[in-house]
Amino acid sequence: MWVGCVHLFESCVFTASNPITKYKGVLEQISYFCPPNRYTMIEQLLTNTLLSILQNLYGQDIPRKLVQLQKTRPEFEGDLTIVVFPLLRISRKSPEQTAEELGKKLVEQLGEVDAFNVIKGFLNLVIADGYWLDFFKASWNEQFFGFVEPAQSAPMVVEFSSPNTNKPLHLGHVRNNLLGESVSEIRKAAGRKVIKVNLVNDRGIHICKSMLAWQKWGKGQTPETEKVKGDKLVGDYYVKFDREYKKEIELLIAEGKTKDEAAQQAPLLLEAKQMLKLWEEGDEGVRQLWAKMNGWVYEGFDVTYKRMGIGFDKTYYESDTYLLGKTIVEEGLEKGVFFRKEDGSVWCDLSEDGLDEKLLLRADGTSVYMTQDLGTAQLRYDDFHPSDLIYVVGNEQNYHFEVLKLVLKKTGRAWAENIHHLSYGMVELPDGKMKSREGTVVDADDLMDEMFATAKRTTEELGKFDDFTPEESAHLYHILSQGALKYFILKVDPKKNMTFNPEESIDFNGHTGPFVQYTHARIKSILRKAADAGGQTGDVDMAGFQPEAKEKSLLRLLHEYPQAIQQAAETMSPALLANFVYVLAKEYNQFYHELPIIKEPDSCKRNFRLGLSAFVGNTIRSAMGLLGIDVPERM
């Protein structure tokens, strides 16, 4: 997969040796094989230099953290800004005076700093054009710009999706899947080895309910006979069970039972429980039915996963793992970190950690959810010896993961420290939460169908691409609808609850996926036209070249991309990249409207703008790719 950070610009005519300014060329001194910090060089250089200046000027060292470097706000002149307030305690001078002194020294000592100005306590630095142009030259055509070569270290395991097999995937799963997939890709881009795993909850009372209902009322229906996705069919029988079960409860209540009694004693539930027992005993018939119906579900899931572009390196099944974890519990008992109550149940006392007692094994010796998760964590550790175990799971399970980590630690497993719960917020609808009982759940397939139809309608209304074949059109609608959906969900900070407004999600204007995709298509269109005209993309004689303000701000943004990837990886937040790529696209569109590209008569400027366009296009494709979003050549 990885082909390395090949820099392709040798085939072009950049003249790197031009003494453009007094600027020396930081980038030139560094290897081109994508070292992680190559693009933070200017920041590091400034910080280091400033520290030595402070030492010389005021005879004191200060903690590196007090050097606060930030982007200059657009309303002021400059590229980077140093906040001098924290430095006053050693300069013992006014903010203005301090900034002035430091500014002078920086310009003196660094070719990269062209000029400076001081506004209140802020020292604004103008970075030399040469720096930006060198950056452009080195990176504009680099396929994996901003990516870091994978380290030869332990992998990280990311678990996500983890569906139950009694219901089709819904909007909540969609957020989970998109986050898991995107975070995995982002961490790969940031130089990590990642193993994506799914843990399918394929056994338990829930699937037995579907099985029982199908047995009773299914009349041999299959996905083939009903022309319906397998997960839908099984889900329908789960609903059927619930409906019949409720009828029985009402009957029992009418006969004078309490609500709880009725719920416990309804014949259907007892039957389902009996079926679960038979399953656990390995009953041939039950196992066969179970395998058949789960098979239907997997076929259905596969279609949905494929449509979403989600994939796993390994799939675990709970039917294989649900008995795991008991040995860990026994081990904990021996070590005396767990305790057994009179009834035989096993607990872990977490009151010292501010939590309650937690059940680990029932009185009858059977597992609970926690027991299984202890076991699967151990299994995963044994399978991969990962540096990190990441669980993409909703924030309603925050407590569970806190406990999981603590319990594992109590048994002496140091690697428990490497468990990270990527806890994401609920997806709510404009009129409140999704509730399966009230039928307000948004089905993943239905949602994607609707998005597809909207993409089709919008494209047709705009009267675009009558020359597309039906296949090409369908492909475009697929890309656009997936882009709209994925972007809509991923642009929100994962930690926060989000509102999914169906009407807004299918909007293709403004801060949306299709807007970014459109910008990419627009760039591609320009590059095609330029190529037809025999233009030399990116071929620029850099001597004395002065980029326009808009061009420079584009370069500044592109310059931030590697850091954006790193930060998104660290915080496991695709939203950071989603917002980055939106700002980039918006900035490009402004550039596009302000300046001629192909029509620019000056060949040097024209080629630079073409190269810059290609650079932006590549970066959009790259960033959207990390969000799991494809971009079209035309739209």
Partner RNA sequence: GGUCUCGUAGCUCAGCUGGAUAGAGCAGCAGCCUUCUAAGCUGCGGGUCGCAGGUUCGAGUCCUGCCGGGAUCACCA
Q: DSSP assignment, residue 118?
A: E
Choices 96-104, 293-301, 329-337, 390-398; region in contact with RNA by CB under 7 A: 390-398
Residue 566 in the binding site for RNA (CB under 7 A):
no
Q: Which residues is 359 bridged to in the sheet?
A: 347
- List of long-range contacts for 368-371, beta carbons under 8 Å, 24+ apart: 369/400, 370/325, 370/400, 370/403, 370/404, 370/407, 371/324, 371/325, 371/326, 371/328, 371/329
Residues 74-93 that bind RNA (CB under 7 A): 75-76, 81, 83, 85-86
Nearer to RNA, 291 or 363 (CB): 363
Measured CA distances, 523 to 16, 403, 519, 610, 615 (Å) = 26, 50, 6, 9, 10
Nearer to RNA, 8 or 205 (CB): 205
- Residues 6 or more apart in contact with residue 146 via CB below 8 angstroms: 39, 189, 561, 562, 564, 565, 619, 622
Residue 255 in the binding site for RNA (CB under 7 A):
no
Q: DSSP assignment, residue 145?
A: T
> Which residue of 510, 531, 544, 546 would you call a contact of RNA, by CB under 7 A?
510
Tokens 């380290």 — which residue? 151
Query: Smallest distance, Å, CB 217 to RNA?
Result: 24
Strands 80-83, 68-71: pairing kind: antiparallel
- Residues 6 or more apart in contact with residue 14 via CB below 8 angstroms: 137, 538, 539, 540, 542
> Which residue of 401, 592, 608, 615 would you call a contact of RNA, by CB under 7 A?
592
Tokens 């332990």 — which residue? 154
Residue 124 in the binding site for RNA (CB under 7 A):
yes
> Which residue of 37, 52, 70, 603 would you call a contact of RNA, by CB under 7 A?
70
For RNA (CB under 7 A), the number of binding residues is: 91
Residues 438-497 that bind RNA (CB under 7 A): 455, 458-459, 462, 464, 476, 480, 491-493, 495-497
Nearer to RNA, 26 or 393 (CB): 393
Contact string (CB under 7 A) for RNA, positions 261-290, x = contact: ------------------------------
Residue 387 in the binding site for RNA (CB under 7 A):
no
- How many angstroms separate the CA atoms of 179 and 182, rounded? 5
Query: Smallest distance, Å, CB 442 to RNA?
Result: 14
- How many angstroms separate the CA atoms of 610 and 598, rounded? 8
Residues 333-352 that bind RNA (CB under 7 A): 341, 343, 345
Residue 499 in the binding site for RNA (CB under 7 A):
yes
DSSP 421-438: EEEEPPEEETTEE--GGG
> Which residue of 165, 198, 201, 294 would you call a contact of RNA, by CB under 7 A?
201
- Residues 6 or more apart in contact with residue 351 via CB below 8 angstroms: 357
Residue 597 in the binding site for RNA (CB under 7 A):
yes
DSSP 462-499: TT--TTS-HHHHHHHHHHHHHHHHHHHHHTS-TTS-EE
Residue 512 in the binding site for RNA (CB under 7 A):
yes
> Which residue of 91, 141, 161, 164 would you call a contact of RNA, by CB under 7 A?
164
Residue 67 in the binding site for RNA (CB under 7 A):
no
Contact 485, 447 (CB under 8 A): yes
- Of 77, 79, 60, 59, which is closest to residue 69 (Cα–Cα)? 79
Query: Smallest distance, Å, CB 561 to RNA?
Result: 13
Choices 118-126, 182-190, 266-274, 537-545; region in contact with RNA by CB under 7 A: 118-126
Query: Smallest distance, Å, CB 255 to RNA?
Result: 25
Nearer to RNA, 122 or 160 (CB): 122
C-alpha torsion 325→327→328→331, nearest 10:
170
Give the Cβ contact number of residue 32 at 10 Å.
16
Residue 51 in the binding site for RNA (CB under 7 A):
no
Choices 17-25, 106-114, 514-522, 623-631; region in contact with RNA by CB under 7 A: 514-522
Helix (H) or strand (E) holding 214: helix 205-217
Residue 364 in the binding site for RNA (CB under 7 A):
yes
Measured CA distances, 426 to 433, 496, 577 (Å) = 8, 8, 21
Choices 30-38, 141-149, 183-191, 515-523; region in contact with RNA by CB under 7 A: 515-523
Nearer to RNA, 114 or 134 (CB): 114
Residue 120 in the binding site for RNA (CB under 7 A):
yes
Choices 8-16, 48-56, 233-241, 522-530; region in contact with RNA by CB under 7 A: 522-530
DSSP 399-415: HHHHHHHHHHHHTT-GG
Residue 73 in the binding site for RNA (CB under 7 A):
yes
Residue 524 in the binding site for RNA (CB under 7 A):
yes
Residue 210 in the binding site for RNA (CB under 7 A):
no
Nearer to RNA, 514 or 538 (CB): 514
